[in-house]
Amino acid sequence: MTDDCLDGNGMAGLLAEATGAELTSAIRHCQSCGNEYAIGNHRAYRGAGVVLRCPGCAALAATIVERDDELLIAWHGVLRVPRPAAA
Amino acid sequence: MRETIEETAHARTLALDVPGWPGHRAGQHLDVRLTAEDGYQAERSYSIASAPELDAVELTVELVDDGEVSPYLIEEVIPGDVIEVRGPVGGHFTWSVDDGRVLLIGGGSGLVPLMAMLRHRAARASTVEARLLASARSEPDALYRREIETLRPQEGLAVDWTYTRATPAGWKGFARRVDAEMLAAVGPGPSAGARVFVCGPTPFVESVSDLLVDAGYDPASIHAERFGPTGG
């Protein structure tokens, strides 16, 4: 049994630090299957960086690589990020 | 680190005093970063177990054999130690009593964020309808069991346990993995409009989410959170 978070929810701190936004509740429209899922609901895989995959079709959603002074983030599909006033 | 509480043979709760803590919502996370003497860093994201209404921030950590972080947090840390944390973080897997009725389904240590929600509900003396289905291997492995039993009489709260490997003597409750029949028995059913939170190991979450969708629950109402093998 393991104990730490292994999906998009677990990336909340990393994404908030890099972007200043709470992105786990942002909705991603998948470029592959066309379904929409919250970033928090995406599957996460850790290696040298983090890979997020669509929970519906497993298509690549994002890759996140941490370097000393920056994050490299590649997004796929369309992210719908609520504005703070609308949240 | 304020104090530690033994929960089961494999899990321990760490109560932290976090200076400047801005408050959290039930279901949010705290990231814990450990730095070795050679500069190597390991970071893990843990669900907060305590209610927002409590003055300490509690994490419940389950031991991962050969893990990088959890053995340290379970076996090494003592009150007075300082730990580097970041948070609270997250917004997708959160609930407050103002969000209305809720169905909580937890497997193993997936109970942790759901416990924060139940503690929040209790602290607010809310009677909003809440149903908990908690799956554990056996009664000794069941996190927070005694506390949940003290919550059980609350108005509007329904609790079911299922034990998948061993049951106590005379057990009349569920004794199998979560299935469609069990979900139908627990309710409240897809037409109730409840928010649903599912948390546990990845196969548990995927299986329960699929069962819920098959039963007619709106996929948008299902909030999932997976714990899994990351080297803990």
Q: Give the chain A residue nearest B111 (alpha carbons).
A: A3
pLDDT at B43: 84
The partner residue sitting opposite A2, judged by closest CB among B29, B86, B230, is B230
pLDDT at A86: 55
B223/A4 touch (CB, cutoff 8 Å), yes or no: no
Chain A residues whose CB is inside 8 A of the B92 CB are 8-9, 12, 24-25, 38-41
Dmax of chain B from CA atoms?
56
Q: Give yes or no for a contact between B142 and B114, defined as CB atoms under 8 angstroms apart.
A: no
**Distance (Å, whole) CA B147 – CA B7:** 11
Q: Strand locations in A1-87, DSSP E?
A: 27-29, 36-38, 43-46, 50-53, 60-66, 71-75, 78-80
For the ranges A38-42, B86-90, B226-230, the lowest mean pLDDT is seen at B226-230
Q: Best residue in B30, B89, B96, B99 to probe A by mutation, most A CBs within 10 Å?
A: B89
Name the DSSP class of A19. Answer: H
> By a Cβ cutoff of 8 Å, what residues of chain B touch chain A?
10-11, 28-29, 31, 44-47, 61-64, 67, 69-70, 86-87, 89-93, 108-109, 201-202, 223-232
Name the DSSP class of B37. Answer: T
Q: Label residue B10 by pLDDT band (50, 70, 90).
A: confident
Among A47, A30, A31, CA closest to A39: A30
Q: How far is CA A57 from the centre of its chain?
A: 15
Residues with Cβ within 8 Å of B117's Cβ and at least 6 positions away in sequence, in order, are B26, B27, B95, B102, B104, B130, B197
- State the sign of the Cα–Cα–Cα–Cα dihedral B87, A82, B199, B188: positive
Flag whether pLDDT at B231 surpasses 50: no
Q: How far is CA A47 from the centre of its chain?
A: 15
pLDDT at A82: 82
> Nearest-CA distance from A70 to chain B in Å?
16
Mean pLDDT across the stretch B67-72? 81
Q: Give yes or no for a contact between B93 and B110, defined as CB atoms under 8 angstroms apart.
A: no
Q: What is the pTM of this model?
A: 0.91
**Distance (Å, whole) CA B180 – CA B124:** 32
Q: Give yes or no for a contact between A58 and B206, defined as CB atoms under 8 angstroms apart.
A: no
Q: How far apart are the first and last CA of chain A?
A: 35
Flag whether pLDDT at A65 surpasses 50: yes
Instruction: Provide the ipTM.
Output: 0.82
pLDDT at A1: 31
For the ranges A67-81, B100-114, B121-135, the lowest mean pLDDT is seen at A67-81
Chain A residues whose CB is inside 8 A of the B64 CB are 1-3
Q: How far is CA B47 from the centre of its chain?
A: 7
Q: What is the pLDDT of residues A30-55, one digit of tens each?
A: 999 999 999 999 999 888 889 999 99
Cα dihedral B48/B54/B56/B59 (nearest 10):
-20
